[in-house]
Amino acid sequence: MLFVSQLAGSLLLIVPLWVWQEPIPSTGDMLWGVAGGACGVVGITAFYIGLANGRMGIVAPIAAVVTAGLPVLVGTVLEGFPPVVKYFGFALGLTSIWLVSRSSDGMTARLEEVGLPILAGVAFAGFFIFLDQAADASILWPLVAVRATSLLLIVLASLALRKRILPSRDKLPLMALAGLLDTGGNLFYMLAARAGRLDIAAVLASLYPAATVILARMILKELINRWQMIGIIAALGAVVMIAT
């Protein structure tokens, strides 16, 4: 599954590379992309294993909040303190991510359920931070490095574990679409990181669980519980405060 989505995402980059004729950046900037790709693979692997072994209502919010929280700390160190209103927006955004990602049964986390989602969150945060470092010099080539690194690690892991790389044929279009959307999201994140601060771009990008819940309601007819609705409203408020 991951191989097909990453391959489709890589192919999506061919057209903008050809159209924009972006010059190849320095080796250092490409290495930021390599580091981001490695973090992405570690993050998604830890996240999926955490979901398989734990409870989504625990794993998802912990990973999401760590993903959004670390870039705020790093952004403050690297770029200084943003206006106070944006910190209130960050706090509201982190709260909204937790609320939207949690289930409605009042779960409490067990110690053994915390490790993998924290690892996933740290890895995803690393992905945001490393790509932000490359965004000032280049947009597309670091993403090429991300995809190449991801594909290589996925192939090596599949060979080591003796797992098949390709899913069944009927799932190929859906996996390809996921890869195209993923790469599109990464591209817009790079543009946002170049235009502004790391913490603002990362927190806004991390609000995706709200859109996921809304789409699940529209397409899959899933119910939105009370906490998720509060989280969606909080996310909208956070966007306004952060973008002010």
Within 10 angstroms of residue 215's Cβ, the number of other Cβ atoms is 11
Judged against a pLDDT cut of 90, whether residue 244 lies above it is answered with: no
In tens, the pLDDT along 176-232 reads: 888 788 888 888 888 888 888 888 888 888 777 777 777 777 877 767 778 878 888
Q: Look up residue 37 and give its amino acid.
A: G
Judged against a pLDDT cut of 60, whether residue 107 lies above it is answered with: no
Predicted TM-score (pTM) of the model is 0.80
Cα–Cα distance measured from residue 179 to residue 173, given in angstroms and rounded to the nearest whole number? 10
Cα–Cα distance measured from residue 183 to residue 191, given in angstroms and rounded to the nearest whole number? 12
67 and 124 Cβ atoms separated by less than 8 Å: yes
Tokens of 58: 């625990």
Within 10 angstroms of residue 71's Cβ, the number of other Cβ atoms is 28
DSSP H stretches of helix in the chain: 2-12, 14-20, 27-53, 56-79, 84-101, 115-135, 140-161, 172-195, 198-205, 208-219, 226-243
In tens, the pLDDT along 9-21 reads: 788 888 888 888 8
**35 secondary structure, DSSP code:** H
Judged against a pLDDT cut of 60, whether residue 106 lies above it is answered with: no
Judged against a pLDDT cut of 90, whether residue 35 lies above it is answered with: yes
Average pLDDT of the residues in 150-163: 82
Q: Look up residue 227 and give its amino acid.
A: W
Average pLDDT of the residues in 113-118: 79
In tens, the pLDDT along 37-93 reads: 999 889 888 887 887 776 666 677 778 888 888 888 888 888 888 888 888 888 888
Of residues 121, 133, 147, the one with CA closest to residue 34:
147
Q: Look up residue 49 and give its amino acid.
A: I
In 101-138, which positions are buried (b, 16+ CB within 10 angstroms) versus exposed (e)? bbeeeeeeeeeebeebbbbbbbbbbbbbbbbbbbbebb
Output the pLDDT for position 130.
93
Cα–Cα distance measured from residue 129 to residue 194, given in angstroms and rounded to the nearest whole number? 12
90 and 203 Cβ atoms separated by less than 8 Å: yes
Output the pLDDT for position 102.
64
Output the pLDDT for position 46.
87
